[in-house]
Amino acid sequence: MTLPKKAVCYFGDGKADASATDRDVIGGKGANLAEMTRIGLPVPSGFTISTEICSAYYQNGRSFPDGLENRVHMALRRVERSMGASFGDISNPLLLSVRSGARVSMPGMMDTVLNLGLNDATVQGIIERTQNPRFAYDSYRRFVQMYGDVVLGLRPASSHESDPFEELLDLAKRDSGVEFDHELTALDLKALVARFKDVIRERTGKPFPEDPYRQLWGAIGAVFGSWMNTRAIAYRRLNGIPGDWGTGVNVQAMVFGNMGDDCGTGVAFTRDPATGEKKFYGEFLINAQGEDVVAGTRTPLPIDKMKRVMPKVYKQLTRIQGVLEKHYRDVQDIEFTIQRNKLWMLQTRAAKRTGKSAVRIAVDMVEERLIQKEEALSRVTAEQIEQFLSPGFDPNAKRNAVESGQVLGKGLPAGPGAASGRLAFSAEEAERLAREKEPVILARIETSPEDIHGMAVAVGILTARGGMTSHAALVARQMGKVCVAGWGSVEINYKSRKMVVGGRSYKEGDWISLDGTTGEVIQGHLETRPSEVVRVIRGKSKAKGKKSEYGAFSRIMQWADEVRHLGVRANADQPDQAKLAIAFGAEGVGLCRTEHMFFGEKRIEAMREMILADDSETRRKALARVLPIQRKDFVGLFRAMSGRPVTIRTLDPPLHEFLPKTEKEIRALAADMGVKPAHLLSRVGSLSEQNPMLGHRGCRLGISHPEITEMQARAIFEAACDVKREGKKVLPEIMIPLVSHPHELREQERVVRRVADEVFKRRKMTVPYFVGTMIELPRAALTANEIAEYAEFFSFGTNDLTQTTLGISRDDSSKFLPHYITHEIFRREPFATLDQKGVGELMRIGIERGRAARPDIEIGICGEHGGDPPTVQFCHDIGIDYVSCSPFRIPIARLAAAHAELRERETLSARKARRASANGRPRNRVRNIRPPSASSKKIGAKAKVTRKAVKKTYARG
Amino acid sequence: MTLPKKAVCYFGDGKADASATDRDVIGGKGANLAEMTRIGLPVPSGFTISTEICSAYYQNGRSFPDGLENRVHMALRRVERSMGASFGDISNPLLLSVRSGARVSMPGMMDTVLNLGLNDATVQGIIERTQNPRFAYDSYRRFVQMYGDVVLGLRPASSHESDPFEELLDLAKRDSGVEFDHELTALDLKALVARFKDVIRERTGKPFPEDPYRQLWGAIGAVFGSWMNTRAIAYRRLNGIPGDWGTGVNVQAMVFGNMGDDCGTGVAFTRDPATGEKKFYGEFLINAQGEDVVAGTRTPLPIDKMKRVMPKVYKQLTRIQGVLEKHYRDVQDIEFTIQRNKLWMLQTRAAKRTGKSAVRIAVDMVEERLIQKEEALSRVTAEQIEQFLSPGFDPNAKRNAVESGQVLGKGLPAGPGAASGRLAFSAEEAERLAREKEPVILARIETSPEDIHGMAVAVGILTARGGMTSHAALVARQMGKVCVAGWGSVEINYKSRKMVVGGRSYKEGDWISLDGTTGEVIQGHLETRPSEVVRVIRGKSKAKGKKSEYGAFSRIMQWADEVRHLGVRANADQPDQAKLAIAFGAEGVGLCRTEHMFFGEKRIEAMREMILADDSETRRKALARVLPIQRKDFVGLFRAMSGRPVTIRTLDPPLHEFLPKTEKEIRALAADMGVKPAHLLSRVGSLSEQNPMLGHRGCRLGISHPEITEMQARAIFEAACDVKREGKKVLPEIMIPLVSHPHELREQERVVRRVADEVFKRRKMTVPYFVGTMIELPRAALTANEIAEYAEFFSFGTNDLTQTTLGISRDDSSKFLPHYITHEIFRREPFATLDQKGVGELMRIGIERGRAARPDIEIGICGEHGGDPPTVQFCHDIGIDYVSCSPFRIPIARLAAAHAELRERETLSARKARRASANGRPRNRVRNIRPPSASSKKIGAKAKVTRKAVKKTYARG
User: What's the pLDDT tens digit per position in B732-760?
Assistant: 999 999 999 999 999 999 999 999 999 99
- Is the distance from CB of B780 to CB of B772 less than 8 angstroms? no
Which residues of B are known catalytic residues? Answer: 471, 862
Nearest to B703 among A747, A800, A825 (CB): A825
Q: Write the pLDDT tens digit of every residue in A657-701.
A: 888 878 888 888 888 878 888 888 878 877 888 899 999 999 999
Instruction: Give the best-scoring range by mean pLDDT among A154-158, B790-794, B943-947.
Output: B790-794
Per-residue model confidence (pLDDT) at position A33: 96
Count CB-CB contacts under 10 A for residue B549. 22
Task: Please report which confidence band the pLDDT of residue A519 belongs to, taking 50, 70 and 90 as the band edges.
Answer: confident
Query: In B, residues 875-894, which contact A (CB 8 Å cutoff)?
Result: none
Average pLDDT over residues B434-460: 87
| pLDDT classification of B474: cutoffs 50, 70, 90 | low
Distances (CA, A) of A303 to A286, A316, B262, B544: 11, 13, 129, 107
Mean pLDDT lowest for which of A139-143, A456-460, B33-37, B810-814? B810-814
Distances (CA, A) of A206 to A209, A210, A224, A628: 8, 12, 22, 87
- Could you read off the pLDDT of B219-232 as tens digits, one per residue? 999 999 989 887 78
Exposure of B928 by Cβ count < 10 A (0-12 exposed, 13-18 middle, 19+ buried)?
Answer: exposed
d(CA B513, CA A79): 105
Judging contacts by C-beta atoms under 8 Å, the chain A residues touching residue B786 are 837
Q: Cβ separation of B825 and A689 shorter than 8 Å?
A: no
A740 lies within 8 A of chain B by CB:
yes
Q: Which residue stretches of B591-741 are H helix?
A: 601-612, 616-641, 663-673, 677-687, 699-704, 706-725
Characterize A503-520 residue by residue with b for buried, 16 or more Cβ atoms within 10 angstroms of its Cβ, and e for exposed. eeebebebbbbbbbbbbb
Q: A447: closest CA among A473, A477, A428?
A: A473
Mean pLDDT confidence for A181-195: 92
pLDDT classification of A300: cutoffs 50, 70, 90: confident
Give the pairing type, strands B342-350 and B511-515: unpaired
- pLDDT tops 90 at residue A539: no
Q: Looking at residues A81-109, what average pLDDT do you find?
A: 90
In the predicted model, is pLDDT for residue A904 greater than 70?
yes
Q: What is the mean pLDDT of chain A?
A: 88
Chain A segment 701-730 residues within 8 A of B by beta carbon are 703-704
Chain A 812-851, residues with CB within 8 Å of chain B CB atoms: 812, 815-816, 819-820, 823-826, 835, 837-839, 841-842
The CA–CA distances, whole Å, from B259 to B182, B306, B309, B423 equal: 12, 17, 16, 41
- The lowest-confidence range among A460-469, B124-133, B624-633 is A460-469
Which helix H or strand E contains A284, and what residues bound it?
strand A281-286
ipTM above 0.85, yes or no: no
Q: Do B690 and A806 touch (CB under 8 A)?
A: no
Given a cut of 80, whether residue B480 has pLDDT beyond it is no
CA B678 to chain centre: 53
DSSP string, B786-813: HHTTT-SEEEE-HHHHHHHHHT--GGGG
Residue B108 has pLDDT above 70, yes or no: no
Q: What is the pLDDT of residue A506?
A: 95
- A691 and B CB contact within 8 Å: yes
Q: How far does the CA of residue B779 sit from the closest CA of chain A (Å)?
A: 5
CA distance B364 to B548: 12
Judged by CB atoms closer than 8 Å, whether chains meet at B807 and A694 is answered as: yes
Interchain CB contact of B179 with A (< 8 Å): no
The mean of the pLDDT values for chain B is 88
For position B954, what pLDDT does the model report?
44
For the cut 60, the answer to whether the pLDDT of residue B953 exceeds it is no
* Distance between CA atoms of residues B491 and A736, nearest Å: 54
Is B652 within 8 Å of chain A by CB?
Answer: no
Residues of A designated as active site? 471, 862
Partner-chain contact B825 A779, CB within 8 Å? no
Contact present, B285 and B468 (Cβ < 8 Å): no
Residue A300 CA to residue A265 CA, distance in Å, equals 10
Across the interface, of A690, A819, A842, the residue whose CB is closest to B812 is A690
- Of the given ranges (A444-453, B124-133, B501-510), which has the lowest mean pLDDT? A444-453
CB contact under 8 A, A807 and B738: yes
Beta strands across the sheet bearing A46-49:
A15-16, A8-12, A46-49, A247-253, A96-102, A112-116
Tens of pLDDT along B41-71? 999 999 999 999 999 999 888 999 999 999 9
In eight-state DSSP terms, residue B292 is: H
Q: What is the pLDDT of residues B325-374, one digit of tens each?
A: 999 999 999 999 999 999 999 999 999 887 888 999 999 999 999 999 99
**Residue B425 scores a pLDDT above 80:** yes
Instruction: Provide mean pLDDT across the span B534-551.
Output: 85
From chain A, the residues in CB contact with B805 under 8 A are: 740, 777-779, 782, 804
Assign B937 a pLDDT band (cuts: 50, 70, 90): very low
Please indicate whether, in this complex, the C-beta atoms of B694 and A689 are within 8 angstroms of each other: no
B623-674 pLDDT, tens digit per residue, is 998 899 899 999 999 999 999 999 999 999 998 888 887 888 888 888 887 8
Name the pLDDT band for B685 (thresholds 50, 70, 90): confident
Pick from A689, A776, A811, A812 the residue to mutate for testing the B interface (most B CBs within 10 Å).
Answer: A812
How far B823 CA lies from chain A's nearest CA (Å)? 10
Residue of A nearest to B704 (CA): A816
- The reported pLDDT for the residue numbered A949 is 42
Q: Where is A264: in which H helix or E strand?
A: strand A264-269
pLDDT digits (tens, 9 = 90+) for B755-765: 999 999 999 99
User: Are B609 and B680 contacting, i.e. CB atoms less than 8 angstroms apart?
Assistant: no
Contacts of A786 (CB under 8 A, 6+ apart): A742, A853, B837
With an 8 Å Cβ cutoff, are A837 and B782 in contact? yes
pLDDT at position A355 is 83
pLDDT for B948 equals 45
Contact: B825, A741; criterion CB under 8 Å:
yes
pLDDT band at residue A652 using 50, 70 and 90 as cut-offs: very high
Interface touch A740/B808, C-beta < 8 Å: yes
Between CA B826 and CA A424 the distance in angstroms is 58
Task: Report pLDDT for B932.
Answer: 38
Q: Is the pTM of this model over 0.90?
A: no
Question: Is A210 part of the contact surface with chain B (CB cutoff 8 Å)?
Answer: no
Instruction: Give the rounded percent of residues in chain A with a pLDDT score beyond 70.
Output: 93
Pick from A741, A782, A806: which is nearest to B841 by CB? A782
CB-closest option in B689, B738, B747 to A825: B747
* pLDDT (average), residues B810-821: 80
The number of angstroms, rounded, from the C-alpha of A661 to the middle of its chain's C-alpha atoms is 40
Distance CA B177, CA B173 (A): 6
Name the residue with higher pLDDT: B685 or B89: B89
Give the pLDDT confidence of B852-865 residue by residue, as tens digits. 999 999 999 998 79
Per-residue HEC secondary structure of B562-598 comes to: HHCCCEEEEECCCHHHHHHHHHCCCCCEEEEEHHHHH
Tell me the mean pLDDT in the region A273-290: 88
For residue B692, give the nearest of A691, A747, A835 by CB distance.
A691
pLDDT at A732: 98
Q: What is the pLDDT of residue B947?
A: 45
For residue B159, the model assigns a pLDDT of: 53
Task: Please give the pLDDT value at position A294.
Answer: 58
> A691 to chain B, minimum CA–CA distance in Å?
4
At residue B514, φ and ψ (nearest 5 deg) are -120, 130
Q: How confident is the model at residue A296 (pLDDT cuts 50, 70, 90)?
A: low
pLDDT tens track for B254-307: 999 988 899 999 999 999 987 899 999 999 999 888 777 655 567 788 999 999
